[in-house]
Amino acid sequence: MTRIRKLLIANRGEIACRIMSTAKARGIRCVAVYSDADANALHVRMADEANHIGESEPSQSYLNVAAVIGAAQTSGADAIHPGYGFLSESADFAKACADAGIIFVGPPAEAIAALGDKRQAKRRMIDAGVPCVPGYQGADQSEAVLIAEAEKIGFPVMVKASAGGGGRGMRIVERKVALADAIASARKEAESAFGDGTLLLERAVTGARHVEVQVFADSQGNCLHFGERDCSPQRRNQKVIEEAPSPVISPQKREQMGVAAVKAAQAVNYVGAGTVEFLYDPAREEFYFLEMNTRLQVEHPVTELVTGLDLVALQLDVAEGAPLPFKQDDVSINGWAMEARLYAEDPSQDFMPHSGDAAVLEWPDLEGVRIDSGIEAGDRVTTFYDPMIAKVIAHGRDRDEARQKLAAALREIRLLGFAHNRDFLASLLEDETFANGEADTGYIERNLDRLAKRRAPGGDAAIALVGAALIERSFNDHLTGWDSRGASSFPLQLVNTGHEIINAQIRLNGAEVTAIFGEKEVCIEVLEKTGDTIRYRHDGRIIEARYRRNHYHIELDANGAWERYLDFTLAPASESDAGDDIVKAPMAGLITSVKVIPGDPVSKGTTVATVEAMKMEHQLKSPRDGVVAEVLAKEGDQVAIRTKLVVLKTEE
């Protein structure tokens, strides 16, 4: 055995912090690497030492093999843990570590290469006797052949990129007429994301569940499975909620899937932690191999909580050359665990990613709840990387207890500074279909409008709360009729995240704050206001709200709901903020294209520009029919959130 004494973590965010916690507990010194954007990140502060490896763009830093290997050599690290994402499934990186005499905490380069090509991996699985989805994984990639093979498979059919993962280069095609466009789109996305446009086809299984099995193998030839995880609730082929065990897998089926997963790992002489992903058809009670991820998964904590194992510790053991310390019969599943991925994104705006500073961040302290986070209060979420900021994991005696604990934990998170999906996650956990264990891979997409619908913080009292939050000494000069000795009022205009303009009149009378808007009149009694917290009474209930404001928006978090109001003004606007006339950047990012010039006629929904942020490209569309008056941005511009990009001529 070779003891690891100094470990470089070739990653960032919550996974870098999570790996460090186990490594430090073993007495291993930890080395962080960081880009320009991450100079003050939590994983840098946690490490024993940190090495700068390049600019903010991942290609110039976290994906730069030479820079990462150089940092390991400079720091004297004898091992590298890749985490997940970035270089974790790069056979070239694993080989570069071996060539440099550095232990790679992961599988051999040959195993990564064998499983990285989905077409070749599927052929290996068929040869090994692992059930696979009927499909096409041939070398002929012409459009004509792909269309012909899709007709043989039958619709709906799945078009998938052979390289990479994470839902990129993946399209479900319901009818033949849409297939050619799907092939072209998937190929282009795959080439951009992975540098490889090779595709494969698979039968799309309706009502399917995404069930995966955790496997572990050592260098002595032992290979075990640690049960399954159900990751069915997904959006854009990205997992949202994961749990262990699966609510639809029987003990007999669990054993069958475990045996198949071990076969898959042994087929490529696997070593270390890996996940074999299956598509499970509840109607037929059949499962099919999808792919094998040659790394630690984002959702590994749910397996840890039900087995009592530390998977990172086992990775380090195996990397040092130790055999697995137990047999298959020693592995047992105890209770239930669920994980929710907390993202900086806005579900009500098609999950658009956001960036900003975590001005307020408070995690719940509940028994049986674990938080794996990569940020603390005051830290910044940038536009350069995946917008996941934390994983919230709960363990219970049974599924319902774990589910309720997780929902309660999410509702108790206080996070202000950018949009996030906390309320969406809690709503999904409280949804009847999910609670019954019946949510399949398409459930979120089919019910997105309902699940992502925002509810106002504090209910009808939200506008009065905004008014109460704005009553501060620095605002006194702007409050029409303000008099500290008696009643007063002032007008307030807000734009919510749904781009609805809300005009209200705020009336103050001692501790009472009344909001009059539309046909509603809502009154709250402010009991206490300190810092960023308001305690108030409404309809006989006493509620605590948190708020944050800056020069162009105000956020509220109350009664288990969050909302951001944009472009607030404390007087009637002389002219509309032109919600129907102006296209603004919905997040900070890079303008990748501008498709109109002044004088162009546009229809409602026409794409006028695209902006790239957090590894995703977003199309910005015209809010109405009209004519372009001004174009205020060009391709290549880095823009801030709410920057005006395109202005339409005012309607007469």
Active site residue 295: yes
User: φ and ψ at 76, to 5 degrees?
Assistant: 80, 20
**Residue 243 CB partners (closer than 8 Å, separation 6+):** 229, 230, 302, 336, 337, 338, 339, 399, 402
Residues paired with 342 in a beta bridge? 390
Catalytic residue among 203, 209, 295, 546: 295
The half-sphere exposure of 469 on its side-chain side, counting CA atoms within 13 A, is 24
Amino acid (1-letter code) at residue 377: A
Residue 236 — left, alpha, or beta (φ > 0 → left; ψ -120 to 50 → alpha)? left
DSSP output for 444-481: HHHTHHHHT----TTGGGHHHHHHHHH-SGGGGGGSTT
Token digits of residue 203 = 């039968």
Q: CA–CA separation, 453 vs 167, rounded Å?
A: 24
Distances (CA, A) of 26 to 9, 83, 106: 15, 18, 18
Helix pair angle (65-75, 91-99), 10° resolution:
30
Neighbours of 105 (CB within 10 A): 30
Cβ(354)–Cβ(346) below 8 Å: yes
Return the sign of the alpha-carbon dihedral for residues 522, 523, 527, 532. positive
Handedness of CA 64, 69, 73, 78 (dihedral sign): positive
CB neighbour list of residue 142: distance below 8 Å, 6 or more residues apart? none
Dist. CA 333–CA 340, nearest whole Å:
20
Exposed/middle/buried for residue 447 (C-beta within 10 Å: 0-12, 13-18, 19+)? middle
Q: What is the 3-state secondary structure (H, E, C) of 59-91?
A: HHCCCCHHHHHHHHHHHCCCEEECCCCCCCCCH
**Given the structure tokens 């030492």, which residue do they identify?**
49
Active-site positions? 295
